[in-house]
Structure 1
């Protein structure tokens, strides 16, 4: 019982570190327009996204800030994606045949980036949703930090199947260092940078050492920085392209800032059902672990172990009729339900019922992670968007 108790304490400590803060986007001022705002080119890679694309383009028409151009790159769609793009005012680019060594999304983004004429590029996945204030919030963050901006959108849950993404979303946030405490030195540097910006002096760039990658659904980057890292051509074969882009930025000493979305920047993932959800998460899990820093892996390990241990030992104590132990584990279970509720409300609209039954969601996560790991080790392919993607060993 002492060992289990120590495990719980370590897990809660890891949770406090991984999910210490939830950095959100500040609301932009609609009056901050004109010459102060760089020309914004929005690039949307789309493959069979007729439903999502119609919603996103409708959102972009309602923005409070001006958009220089919207480019939709049709990546070999077999549905009405191209027709919807042109009907709703986007500039349509039909992707050329994908060269050897490229993955589809990176190839589509590269073509969109080359065709864009704006000084600021915003890459959006088709399933992203934006309130009228969404673009303004992204521009505000870019102007305030002077960095590449990437956002993990708020996950809108609309079916029980989609609730299975809970632990995937939590680990997306935690393992990438998004919620880590900001060090005193970094706070001081950011305050100095704000003063320098107000006085129009050179800004000293800083970055968090454990934030490795970006979040693929929303990436705002200046054309200069995009070209400096070689665009998507530099990560053409990377399955987790957002993590790879973060590595390229770090290698060039170009800092980036990560944020959580809210109802102004959200998405609905894998609306196609269980099969699509399994394929999507299988594609990313094992490849993402390989790029995660050791410290973050250790913290995530302690976190998951503690979260899993509470229901596991609760059941064992009930079977063994160890009522004191069962009571203690029931209390630990309740603590984890509260802690997961604290985290989940910032990352998605997960229901309280789904969190109460979190052992089922955790089991699903572990099975998908194991599936992804086996496919990676054996070099077996994953099917995504009707394409075969082979996970590198």
Structure 2
């Protein structure tokens, strides 16, 4: 066996180690039925403290032109069960041109119109910053409009997890539903993001991370306000990663989980163009704040995967039959590993497991394009808006 094949086989288990805990659920020390009180009940009953002894949670949903998806989220929120907490839902309508606000009101959600948008702002971060002073509740949960809650106790459990000291900022990356072959090209961008976060590795029992994912975020409201919330990160391209940095810089802990059976989403229902636009906006910025060790190990695994693919091509035209058999077996090992892990984080088209080297090469292209946009062109586009990187020197426009 050549040295290169030995190295490929040695590196192959890295993905399994980095995603070892990817299906572990949120750990709530006292169980889902345990009551959580923020103040002493006797003191509350004697009127010595004015606040309620029960947990209040506000769910905040930033939305722009989401009339086709937001109803699914709001319906799942209406099915949430609680034992001793209250849930308030607010949709931030970010200059929508469709019926997003009307759909939100039809489900009983409060609607906040986000009017202020300054040059150089990340529109989503600015919309959340505009509403920040009005957030009510002990716990604030941020959900993207394309999310669907599958666990009927999820919101309350997030609140309990925070109150019981599980973390200071908790993030859940939803289970990814794909409705088309092109959407399934999200396989490696999502898989690599989870690997690079370091939160799911064999050696990280507490799911600690330096990054967070925006589709589902939760924090105690007073800590969120203390670190500056979204008002301090309006110019950041990746507001979720920036919020995680704000928490870690303040000495708070960030935890990251995978949605598995609790929460899901459909990222890019409009097809390949939307997918390319979304990932070229996010990938480069997301890697900057991730765990250096996890990112390095992930990069090594990607290199070995692609190297094994190139060896197959080389052996196909220049190698001996025995060498071709060995290189093919090595590549198949990586493909089977990808299928095993991919099924844990999403529902992807089987064709991209068979064509995994091509899907991985597409990820490398997206990552490179993201770096060019981030550091060379200094501009990204999302939902008809051009966001110029570099603070308030940019200019916002609608296309």
Pairwise same-fold verdict (TM > 0.5): yes
Q: Tell me how far apart the structure 2 counterparts of residues 156 and 32 of structure 1 sit (CA, whole Å).
A: 33
**Shift, 1:317, TM fit:** 0.6
SS at match of 1:51: coil
Asked if 1 retains the 8 angstrom alpha-carbon contact of 2:76 and 2:148, the reply is yes
Unaligned runs of 5+ in 1: 191-206
- Greater mean alpha carbon deviation, residues 376-385 or residues 146-155: 376-385
Asked if 2 retains the 8 angstrom alpha-carbon contact of 1:150 and 1:214, the reply is yes
- 1:304-343 to 2 correspondences below 5 Å: 304-343=302-341
Report the TM-score when normalising by structure 2: 0.86
Asked if 2 retains the 8 angstrom alpha-carbon contact of 1:152 and 1:261, the reply is yes
Q: Tell me how far apart the structure 1 counterparts of residues 350 and 171 of structure 2 sit (CA, whole Å).
A: 28
Deviations 1:197-217 (A, max 9, x none): xxxxxxxxxx84xx2111111
SS at match of 2:323: helix
* Number of the residue aligned with 1:29: 32
Q: Which has the higher helix share?
A: 1
**Shift, 1:382, TM fit:** 2.3
Asked if 2 retains the 8 angstrom alpha-carbon contact of 1:229 and 1:249, the reply is yes
Deviations 1:167-187 (A, max 9, x none): 10011101111212236xxx6
SS at match of 1:163: helix
Q: Tell me how far apart the structure 1 counterparts of residues 213 and 156 of structure 2 sit (CA, whole Å).
A: 19
Cα RMSD, aligned residues only: 2.3
- 1:217-228 to 2 correspondences below 5 Å: 217-228=215-226
Q: Tell me how far apart the structure 1 counterparts of residues 213 and 54 of structure 2 sit (CA, whole Å).
A: 23
**Shift, 1:71, TM fit:** 0.6
Asked if 1 retains the 8 angstrom alpha-carbon contact of 2:374 and 2:380, the reply is no
**Shift, 1:136, TM fit:** 3.9
Asked if 2 retains the 8 angstrom alpha-carbon contact of 1:11 and 1:305, the reply is no
Report the TM-score when normalising by structure 1: 0.87
- Greater mean alpha carbon deviation, residues 259-268 or residues 38-47: 259-268
- 1:14-163 to 2 correspondences below 5 Å: 14-22=14-22, 23-25=24-26, 29=32, 32=35, 37-65=54-82, 67-131=86-150, 132-147=152-167, 148-163=169-184
**Shift, 1:263, TM fit:** 2.9
* Number of the residue aligned with 1:384: 382
**Shift, 1:166, TM fit:** 0.6
Q: Tell me how far apart the structure 2 counterparts of residues 106 and 338 of structure 1 sit (CA, whole Å).
A: 39
**Shift, 1:32, TM fit:** 4.3
Unaligned runs of 5+ in 2: 38-51, 392-399
- 1:338-349 to 2 correspondences below 5 Å: 338-349=336-347
SS at match of 1:171: helix
SS at match of 2:69: helix
CA change 1:144–1:259 in 2 (3 A) is farther
1:180 aligns with 2:178: no
Asked if 2 retains the 8 angstrom alpha-carbon contact of 1:26 and 1:137, the reply is no
* Number of the residue aligned with 1:201: none
**Shift, 1:337, TM fit:** 1.8
* Number of the residue aligned with 2:188: 167
Q: Tell me how far apart the structure 1 counterparts of residues 235 and 101 of structure 2 sit (CA, whole Å).
A: 25
Matched positions, count: 370
Q: Tell me how far apart the structure 1 counterparts of residues 358 and 161 of structure 2 sit (CA, whole Å).
A: 37
Q: Which runs of 4+ in 1 moved over 6 A?
A: 33-36
SS at match of 2:247: helix
